Amino acid sequence: MSALLPKTHYTVEDYLTLERSASYKSEYRDVQIYAMNSTSRKHNLVSGNIYRELSLQLKKRPCEAYIKDMRVKAAEASSYHYPDVAVVCGTPQFEDAQVDTLLNPTLLIEVLSPSTEAYDRGSKFALYRKIASLREYLLVAQDQPNIERYVRQGDVWILSEAVGL
């Protein structure tokens, strides 16, 4: 009798079923499920500080900020991700009644880690760019004061950078 081989291709339905009952977070892209790495103390502090400051700034605006556990779907790419911080302005739209997958983020923020920096800058940003509602993408270094800000202007993404305090 042969052992069953592990499943290598997952449908969106497979992913969501597994993800909603898992004790850890995973992302989904290209019919594959990728377990997320745990984050460092610095990473958590930077993410938390960004979330706290954004929440205060957005308090009297029609926007909501989410930290870490709000899954975001890039519908055109059929991919699911967990940005470090997500903001939606206007009415949030969710994939289903579970209200755990945001469809229309306005701003996504990733705090860079050595293990994910290349992905956050490259393939992940390419997937995020397919989200029609997305207007800004921030990459924040955790080991030095450096923020890269990408702003959508039509079909073009414009980069500006803040370096130093």
Task: Kindly report the CATH number assigned to the domain that includes residue 152.
Answer: 3.90.1570.10
**pLDDT of 8 above 80:** no
**pLDDT of 155 above 70:** yes
- For residue 7, what pLDDT is reported? 67
Domain that holds residue 63: 39-163
Task: Please tell me what DSSP assigns to residue 82.
Answer: -
| 26 within domain boundaries | no
**Whole-model pTM?**
0.92
- For residue 6, what pLDDT is reported? 60
| 65 within domain boundaries | yes
| 146 within domain boundaries | yes
3-class state of residue 122 by DSSP? coil
Q: How confident is the model at residue 2 (pLDDT cuts 50, 70, 90)?
A: very low
The predicted-structure confidence for 95-146, as pLDDT tens digits, reads as follows 999 999 999 999 999 999 998 999 999 999 999 999 999 999 999 999 999 9
Count: domains in the chain: 1
- Sheet containing 26-29: give its strands across: 32-35, 26-29, 79-81, 71-74, 101-102
3-class state of residue 157 by DSSP? strand
| Opening angle at CA 40, ends 34 and 41, nearest 5 | 150
| 17 within domain boundaries | no
- Mean pLDDT, range 27-41, rounded to an integer: 91
| 13 within domain boundaries | no
